Structure 1
């Protein structure tokens, strides 16, 4: 069994300000989970932290993207850290942060070999900057790691694409809009909306993904978890709320299939904003569900 390392990437670089002069609160998620005993329940071999560069709400004039230079700097530092863990056959459990933290992980994976990505999110995050109203990388990171977008982000260390487009699975989207969905429908990536996930069944979706990882002889896969994939009633403390979403029963079932796979190389948790859950009610429920499934799957 791989040793588990909690890795804290407290970044909000991929999001816009929720209101003028206020930074997104997701950067406080590692400390927030610590406060609510997440680390104690997981009981990792060690906890490693890499603080993010300073946040700015100004868009880059060339790319129209927020914090692009800081994101590149941070991603390179993240990749170096994660590369070391992967080389030692450790299992990184990353606490973000917003979804842009995937960039560092994707670079590290490309440096190690050929990997798949299971992108579990209430949105596809697979769109071009032209569709982004915010300029936040968090909303387009799945397409960026697949090589689509400005080369400042897609070709760091000349490694584009970090993950082959056809090995990216975007699962759980419920932002049902043709212009938005067509970005991924017209891509080689696999798109399983929330509606489609329920139609084909959670077990079938997970098994199909894991079968592809095996049949393509991939070196492993990365699991991205944006908590906004959960139903809005049980996880409202996110930056982009949308009706519906997975119940904990559905989420736990899907999670257990993926976590039990020997091909799992690492995973990350993103977007839960402590500012939006002041009494910790939703955080406690999430921790109880996630840690129970995680510890059972990895025989902790």
Structure 2
């Protein structure tokens, strides 16, 4: 049994300001989850925290991405920490932060071998900078870690691509815009929109993914969970709300299959903004669900 290590990456570097002069509140997520007993329920062997660089709402002139230099510096530190945990055969249970924390995870995975990425998100985050109105890394995270974009971010430590495009699965998107979806459709990644996931069946989708991990003889896979994959009625405290989404019954079924796999090397949770959940009711329901499913099926 691997030792669980909760790793806190309280970063908001990949998001735009929700309003002028106000930082995104998602950097408060690790502490917020602690207050709602996630740490107690998961019962990790260790808890590690790596503070993020200072947030700005300025685009890097070279890449047109917000906080690009800070993202690179932070990712290198994140990767060093995660690499050490993986080398010790520990299980990183990472709390963001926005989706830009994937950058450090992906670098660490490339340093360790050849890994798959199960990207569970209400958006594909597989977007070219030309389509981004904000310049936020979060909306391009999946494409950037597979090598699509400026080399300042895609080729850190000369490791491009961190995740091979054909080893990426984007699952749960419900942003049904033709131009937006075509980015992922025209790639080598596997794409299951929410509609397609329900049509094909959750168990069929996940089993096909796990079979590919085995058939390709990958070293393992990483699970990215953006809470906006959940139905808007049960998880409205996110930066980009969209109608519909997974129910907790669907969500728990899906992650239970992934948690049972010995190939799961670690996971990360992103985007829940404490500023948008003043009573904590949505956070508590999320904590109860993911901790129960994790404890039942993983360890």
TM-score range, shorter chain: over 0.9
Aligned residues: 299
Q: Distance in 1 between matches of 2:37 and 2:112?
A: 32
Q: Distance in 1 between matches of 2:49 and 2:137?
A: 22
1:257 equivalent to 2:261? Answer: no
- What SS does the aligned partner of 1:140 have? helix
Structure 2 matches for 1:64-75, cutoff 5 A? Answer: 64-75=64-75
Q: Distance in 1 between matches of 2:128 and 2:68?
A: 15
Structure 2 matches for 1:89-100, cutoff 5 A? Answer: 89-100=89-100
- 1:279-300: per-residue Cα shift (whole Å, max 9, x none)? 000000000100000000123x
Cross-structure match for 1:104: 104
Cross-structure match for 2:163: 163
1:52 equivalent to 2:45? Answer: no
Provide the aligned C-alpha RMSD in A.
Answer: 0.4
- 1:28-55: per-residue Cα shift (whole Å, max 9, x none)? 0000001111101110001000000000
Q: Distance in 1 between matches of 2:201 and 2:161?
A: 30
Q: Distance in 1 between matches of 2:60 and 2:38?
A: 36
Cross-structure match for 1:140: 140
Q: Distance in 1 between matches of 2:201 and 2:298?
A: 23
Q: Distance in 2 between matches of 1:298 and 1:173?
A: 25
**What stretches of structure 2 of length at least 5 have no aligned partner?**
none
- What SS does the aligned partner of 1:47 have? strand
- What SS does the aligned partner of 1:172 have? strand
The Cα of 1:62 is off from its aligned counterpart by 1.7
1:238 equivalent to 2:238? Answer: yes
TM-score computed with the length of structure 1 as normaliser: 0.99
- 1:212-246: per-residue Cα shift (whole Å, max 9, x none)? 00000000000000000000000000000000000
Cross-structure match for 2:6: 6
The Cα of 1:61 is off from its aligned counterpart by 1.3
TM-score computed with the length of structure 2 as normaliser: 1.00
The Cα of 1:72 is off from its aligned counterpart by 0.1
Structure 2 matches for 1:145-294, cutoff 5 A? Answer: 145-294=145-294
Q: Distance in 1 between matches of 2:259 and 2:48?
A: 21
Q: 4+ residue runs of structure 1 moved beyond 2 angstroms?
A: none
